[in-house]
């Protein structure tokens, strides 16, 4: 098949494969990292020690367990929500929720002088249990989630924690990596909603393909 006859996505994936060279990821991990590179055009996400995606020992297996149970996917902001493949979620039978625009969350945020993302994560504690949390924008949401885990308030099966930014983003990821919860994250300032949503999309697609 000629390059011209391939779709844009497949051509993009071939370019990524040709430019990446060798890497230390397993095949399932690489399927996720490659999807992040595709979404961001940033090869730094494949660098092992700075900005590169890192996986806890059983991250992918824990994601599959949550999806098998049809548990919630809780996200930090509307941009992550918008980037998630709703058809895949519907096929699996899971629900994706984001409470950052919830009226109660907005009121609590104003009254307690806390960020909405922080309040929204605490507000979603019941849905977090045995589910997947995807954080791509707000370090305060990840900080709050780590606190909830330490308090025993919530115990997700997987945390995709990849917030972007110069303030607290790197620190929140380091905190996550020290918990006993399975995670997919990176060390550094890079991240963002496209990276986060591409990770959960890749996980859902892998899960669906394993069912077929």
Rounded (10°) angle between helices 27-40 and 59-68? 80
**pLDDT tens column, 182-205:** 999 998 999 999 999 999 999 999
pLDDT, residue 212, reads 67
Q: How far apart are CA 182 and CA 139, in angstroms?
A: 18
Instruction: Work out the pLDDT band at 89, boundaries 50, 70, 90.
Output: very high
Confidence band of 2 (pLDDT split at 50, 70, 90): very low
Q: Is the pTM of this model over 0.85?
A: yes
Q: Are 149 and 8 in contact (CB under 8 A)?
A: no
In the residue annotation, 23 being an active-site residue is answered as no
Distance between CA atoms of residues 46 and 52, nearest Å: 5
- Domain 48-211: give its CATH architecture: 3-Layer(aba) Sandwich (3.40)
Q: What is the mean pLDDT of residues 34-62?
A: 93
Is residue 3 predicted with pLDDT exceeding 80?
A: no
Q: What is the pLDDT of residue 7?
A: 86
- Segment 119-168, tens digit of pLDDT: 999 999 999 999 999 999 999 999 999 999 999 999 999 999 999 999 99
- Do 161 and 135 meet the contact criterion of CB atoms below 8 Å apart? yes
Catalytic residue, candidates 16, 20, 28, 38: 38
Q: What is the mean pLDDT of residues 54-77?
A: 97
Q: What is the CA radius of gyration of the chain?
A: 17
């Amino acid at each position: 098949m000629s390059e011209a006859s391939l779709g844009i996505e497949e051509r993009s994936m071939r370019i990524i494969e040709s430019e990446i060279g060798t890497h230390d990821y397993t095949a399932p991990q690489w399927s996720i990292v490659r999807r992040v590179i595709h979404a961001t055009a940033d090869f730094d996400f494949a660098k092992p020690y700075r900005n590169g995606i890192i996986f806890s020992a059983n991250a992918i297996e824990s994601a599959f367990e949550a999806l098998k149970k049809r548990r919630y996917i809780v996200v930090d902001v509307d941009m992550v929500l918008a980037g998630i493949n709703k058809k895949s979620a519907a096929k699996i039978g899971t629900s994706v929720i984001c409470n950052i625009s919830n009226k109660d969350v907005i009121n609590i945020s104003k009254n307690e002088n806390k960020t909405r993302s922080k309040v929204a994560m605490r507000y979603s504690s019941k849905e977090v249990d045995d589910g997947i949390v995807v954080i791509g924008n707000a370090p305060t949401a990840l900080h709050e989630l780590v606190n909830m885990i330490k308090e025993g308030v919530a115990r997700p099966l997987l945390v995709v924690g990849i917030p972007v930014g110069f303030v607290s983003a790197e620190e929140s990821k380091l905190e996550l990596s020290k918990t006993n919860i399975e995670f997919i994250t990176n060390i550094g300032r890079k991240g963002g909603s496209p990276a986060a949503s591409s990770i959960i999309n890749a996980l859902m697609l892998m899960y669906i393909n394993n069912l077929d």
